[in-house]
Amino acid sequence: MIEKNLIIIEKKAHYNNEKAHHTCNRERAHHNREKAHHNNEKPHHNKEKPHHNREKAHHNREKAHHNKEKPHHDKEKPHHDKEKPHHDKEGSRTMTSCNVLEVTMKLTILLALSCYAYGVIAQDLDASLLSNRLKEIKKSIGIDYLQEEFNKLPFTTKTGNGTKLLADIQDKLASSLVGFKNVLDAVEDEVSQNENKFTTQATLPLCCDKPGTYVYDPKFRKEVDFSTACVTRSPSSTSDVKYPHNTVSDIMKTQYDRNKNVLWQHYGTLEGVAIIYPSTYWNDCYNYDPRFRSAFAATASPKDKDVVILIDSSSSMKQISGVTSKSKISIAKEAARTVIETLNPNDRVILLLTDGGSNEGRDPREVISVENAKLQNRVIMFTYLLGPGATNETKQQLREMATQAKSNSLYGNIREGHFEYVDQNQHASLSMKMATFYVQLRSRKVNTNAVYSIPYVDPFSERGLITSMCKTVYGTLGSMQGVSCTDVKLSELLKEVEYFEEGNSSYGFMIDNTGRALIHPLLPEPDFVEINEDPVLVDITSLERTSKTADIINSMKRGESGKETLENVYFTLPRGRLVNEGSRYFQFKATYFWGPVQNTRFYLCIVLSEETHTVISEADFDISNSEMDNVFLYHNRSLTSDSQPNCRFNNRKVTLAQSATKFTPSAFSNPFQYIDETETELDVREYTDYLTRKKDQNPGFNDDVRATVWATYKAEQFWKQQPASHLAWRYIGTKAGVIRLYPAVSLTKSYDHEKRTWWRETISHPGMIYITSPYQDAWGSGILLTLAHTIFKRGSNQVTAVVGTDFPLQYFSYFIDNIYPVCTTKDFKCMIIDDSGFLVMHQAFKETTDPEYFDDPKHITILEPAIAKAMKENGVFNHHTCEDLSTNKELKSFRVTLPAGRSTGLSFDQTNNKFELRPVVDTNIFILRIKKGSILDTRSTAYKCDSNVQPDFRECNDNGQCICYTPIVYNVCTNVYTTAIADSSLPCSARLLDKSGISINEDLTGLQSCFDPKCNEKTTKKDCYSEFQCSWCEFTFRGEIIPEPCCRIKGECSFGKTKDSNSNICDASHTETQPEEAEGPSTGAVVGGAIGGLLAVVLIVGGVILLLRYLHIKDNCDKEDPYLYAIPDHPDLCSAQNYGFESNDQFNPPSTTRNFSSGSVSNGVRHSYISVVSDESRYDRPTE
């Protein structure tokens, strides 16, 4: 709307100025006659300045002569001469008068602008100027329009009864566990009944061999072979071990075919042999021993254990062991680490390892007797003696320590431990001997119950938390043969909890019988935990800090069910990058519903606030048949058969005909239907048929997804009617798991907008315009900023979507300079910061030519430490802390906040003349101004933070000026934090490691550009950056300054630097190869677009704008401002009718779309071209 009005006003002004120019001579001649008469009336003035008058007369005669030589008006406007014949007779005289008036008007304008500049400098910064401009941008990209449209959508209430919601999740979880138990039972039966078929020769493929039949599977995240299982043997196993029969592999395959929720199936024997389905290969295959796995140990000995490992550190332990190049102490430490790997968090045991007996102090057997009596003889001792050279006396001493020969049974039953002498030729097997200590602890009774392991990282794919359901397998004689397990992704098992959402303020969590949290929204997402990371196993009380939750937790651990409503329950939201920006907290009244999961030691809870949860309804949704046909185009067009034309948009293949739609896992009723399966053409065809209502069979979407796709189509309709070549991408992401992008482009399957920084930042600032720090676009669009805003559900403050757009940093820079010209003077330096202290605009951003400079956002404490210190002293820059439980760090970030009563900011007077800070209303940014040359402009290093150290690795010190961390200590045994500061902060939001932003490599060979930006015809930096695809070339690829910079497409000159092969790109002899414009719908080349039009508004200062327009018409030698004059100056567009005005000066919008011809040249000045899409319902009458 704004863009069109500006174009109309420009045209009208141009037309009126042309008319004024045709009649100017008469008026100027009259003015000169009056002026001559006035001079005759003042003879005394002539007497005082005769020389001045003679000079002036001579000057006028020369101008008259010049006008006779160049009667340009006669030549260029012959039709006008016929209408006004007196023009020829008085040409030179009137031109002389016109030039005198021109000089007078220029002087007047200079004086006016000087006064205006003085007034701006002398006054405080007016942040409302930027706020209003950003609101206009928000409107121009359709945010206001879409909010209005969403306010019209039909919504239906979905809020359910909390007790019923909890019961549904409990039932689904219990049903899943029953399915896993059936898999275990089938494998157990096969092994128990056919153990006599086990042979010493492997008949199944060896896992450590990698055949060519492996194929990558997204569910397993590995190359696998589903046709068979594979087998391994521990390096410490004997040569006569027996391998499982092929029938075990067949049973595993059958069970997987019946239940695709199962991950790995594996059976390990006490001899160290394992069978794994599906067959796979992994890096550490040769060292794999199933007996060392915590799931195996927990099943063989399911009781919790207290473990203490004692290693003799005497000088004799430094001797070389039986393992090449390793000392006894080295292999002892390796064995200790192996023991620890087998433990669950609830285990505790004492093991002693030495190479000799005790020869001083008290007898260790007596010490064990006395101390164990205090513990009712509950301690069990395991002793290991390393040879060679041990005496029989030493062996006897360690054996009696294990059997507790001197302990008194009156204090409790004595449980004998285990002693083992490990000779030098057995040193390599020490780890296996010690790590299988739990076999000695197993119950003599047959245990048929399934055991659930503590979550651990998948050892085969080395990514993602899994849990194992395991059972002990017994032979025909009742002896333990091994352990059978089936694995499941923790996030898939608990998908009903992880993806639970009833409105913006709801969540679920689950704990075990010890109170440890298995899943909670403040814990890292299970699927993103890597093999080198430990699972975060903390007590639920560390996460649930709301008052009175302790009673709820205790009730859950007792296996009870219940509900309770609490006031001021904490809800935590991420603010973007956790380490940089911390978290944001809200408090609402909410109700807790809890209960046990059947046949397990797991306990579930859901938390619901009192808000009403609504979703978009298909009922009464107003969408036409023609819209329905175009409402959906899947982003992965390689799986579709659409005929839309392709073109090249920077480094991506796109189509301008439609927007692209993509789904995230949360769009599906079973998220892992999408995550774990490879999409096919059939899948996309089913998506299309359902979403366009060709068929009603739902391919697995949640109930509100189809209506959400229809609703977001309104964004595409708006964007196609509002072409803007200065923007990179436009998009709308929704809470329903739908994202729509324009132009249509393919994304990686893993792309999830709810994990992207722009989404998290905007969600945490509901109702505000959010501007990001500049960043380098992975798709070759240069250095961009994002402007985003939330969309609310009708009649509520619940966020349902986020709309955003990306635009170049350089464009935003000129945008700011035009609004605040005082910031470009020699007296002041301005910058823009966000509410976390990160710089959105800074002089350094304009000066750098290295795109990698923007890999990380720049904080004010790094670039302007003196200013940060001054802000802190004035109470507007305060630190904020939260506990990151995944790294055991208290993270410190910053907030820019205004003191009470200072909502409009701080002036120089209020900061002791140090700085001025103004909030940009309804946004996340502030304008900051300092005086050049002041103490704050010195970039003092006294408080400077090291820019080479990432905040995640910068420990806080006494300085306190930097983004940093303070270590906190969590005691796993007691489930509490032992650091005092841990009680002072709330837990941070979870680290959402987004790994979905990797760019797709596409073949762009032969693709035409979507439109020709004509960069080589733009002669100024402003003109160049008004076009998104253009870059201003100032340096060669070697960093040498180009004497005469030029404008070229980004492909030839990226971020101010030429490519190696195009170092002479700005030479006059160089011919730029312009891309041909692609066929199909065109966006035109809208120079300036919405933001450009707004810059024009900024330059209008009262009536001065009319004079500026006049001067532009008169003086075509001046460089044109693309933001103010981005309209064509073409002969066939000069009539009032062509501009949309009739003779009565009333605006009549054209009835069809009108594309003005490509850029034209008139009077030696290049004029940009614009495509104007006419829509009668959207044109406003221009204001006078």
Mean pLDDT in residue range 888-894: 92
Report, as an integer, the average pLDDT of 883-902: 91
Strand 775-776 and strand 799-808: the pairing is unpaired
pLDDT at site 362? 79
Q: What is the pLDDT of residues 158-202, one digit of tens each?
A: 766 888 889 988 998 888 888 899 999 999 889 888 888 888 888
Contact 455, 469 (CB under 8 A): no
Of residues 15 and 267, the one with the higher pLDDT is: 267
Confidence category of residue 1026, pLDDT binned at 50, 70, 90:
confident
Assign 895 a pLDDT band (cuts: 50, 70, 90). Answer: very high
Please, which residues have CB within 8 angstroms of residue 568's CB and are 6 or more apart in sequence? 546, 547, 587, 588, 589
**Domain 308-432 in the same topology as domain 128-156+618-667+681-819:** no
User: CA of 338: how far to CAs of 233, 238, 288, 331, 898, in Å?
Assistant: 17, 19, 12, 11, 55
Residue 654 has pLDDT above 50, yes or no: yes
The residue type found at 290 is P
Pairing verdict, β 799-808 and 730-734: antiparallel
CB 531 within 8 A of CB 463: yes
Check residue 929 and give its pLDDT.
95
C-alpha to C-alpha distance for 509 and 544, rounded to whole angstroms: 10
CB atoms within 10 A of CB 747: 18
For the stretch 347-383, pLDDT in tens is 554 555 555 555 566 788 888 888 888 888 888 888 8
- What is the distance between the alpha carbons of residues 1175 and 1150, in angstroms, rounded to a whole number? 8
From 443-457, 678-692, 851-865, 953-967, the region with the lowest mean pLDDT: 443-457
Q: Is 1021 exposed, middle or buried (0-12, 13-18, 19+ CB in 10 A)?
A: middle
* Inter-residue contact 656 to 647 (CB < 8 Å): yes
Neighbours of 419 (CB within 10 A): 20
pLDDT higher than threshold 50 for residue 813:
yes
CATH topology of domain 128-156+618-667+681-819: Beta-Lactamase (3.30.450)
**Domain range 308-432, CATH class:** alpha beta
- Under a CB-based contact definition with an 8 Å cutoff, are residues 943 and 961 in contact? yes
- Cα–Cα distance list, 1131 to 368, 1116, 1145, 1150, 1151 (Å): 106, 16, 20, 19, 22
Domain ranges of the chain: 21-127, 128-156+618-667+681-819, 176-302+447-490, 308-432, 494-615, 1015-1062
Q: How far apart are CA 451 and CA 248, in angstroms?
A: 21
The pLDDT of residue 316 is 82
Phi, psi of 206 (to 5 degrees): -85, 130
- How many C-beta atoms lie closer than 10 Å to residue 15's C-beta? 18
* 397-444 tens-digit pLDDT: 888 988 888 888 888 888 888 888 888 888 877 877 777 777 777 666
Identity of residue 991: R
Mean pLDDT score of the chain: 77
Amino acid identity for residue 551 in this structure: D
Per-residue pLDDT, 842 = 94
Q: Token pair of 245, please?
A: 């029969």
| Of 587, 512, 599, 499, the residue nearest 553 (C-alpha) | 512
Is pLDDT above 60 for 115?
Answer: no
- The three-class DSSP label of residue 986 is coil
Q: Output the pLDDT for position 357.
A: 55
Task: Specify the CATH class of 176-302+447-490 in words.
Answer: alpha beta
Distance CA 1173, CA 720 (A): 9
Cα→Cα distances 1104→110, 383, 467, 1111, Å: 10, 95, 73, 11
316-334 residue pLDDT tens = 888 888 887 888 888 888 8
| CA-wise closest residue to 438 among 304, 331, 346 | 304
Query: Do you find a cis peptide bond into 1043, omega within 30 degrees of 0?
Result: no
Fill in the amino acid letter for 345: P
Residue 939, pLDDT above cutoff 80: no
Strand partners, 1176: none
Query: Comparing C-alpha atoms, which of 287, 191, 288 is closest to residue 242?
Result: 191
- pTM for this structure? 0.73
Measured N-to-C along each axis, helices 2-22 and 1104-1114 cross at an angle, to the nearest 10 degrees, of 60
Adjacent-strand bridge partners of 592? 564, 607
- Please give the CATH topology (third level) of the domain spanning 494-615: Beta-Lactamase (3.30.450)
At 778 the pLDDT is: 77
Q: Which residues pair with 787 in a beta bridge?
A: 771, 805
Separation of alpha carbons 1065 and 396, rounded Å: 88
Output b/e per residue, 1119-1158; b: 16+ Cβ within 10 A. Answer: ebbbbbbbbbbbeebeebeebbbeeeeebebeeeeeebeb
Region for 384 from its dihedrals, namely left if φ exceeds 0, alpha if ψ lies in -120 to 50, beta otherwise:
beta
Which pLDDT band holds residue 87 (cuts at 50, 70, 90)?
A: very low
529 phi, psi to nearest 5 deg: -75, 130
Write down the number of H helices and E strands in the chain. Answer: 33, 47
Q: How confident is the model at residue 974 (pLDDT cuts 50, 70, 90)?
A: low
- pLDDT the model gives residue 736: 93
Do residues 1089 and 1169 make contact, with C-beta atoms less than 8 angstroms apart?
no
Contact 418, 437 (CB under 8 A): yes
**Contact criterion met (CB below 8 Å) for 543 and 518:** no
| Integer CA distances (angstroms), 884 to 533, 959, 987, 1006, in order | 14, 22, 6, 50
pLDDT given for residue 118 in this prediction:
42
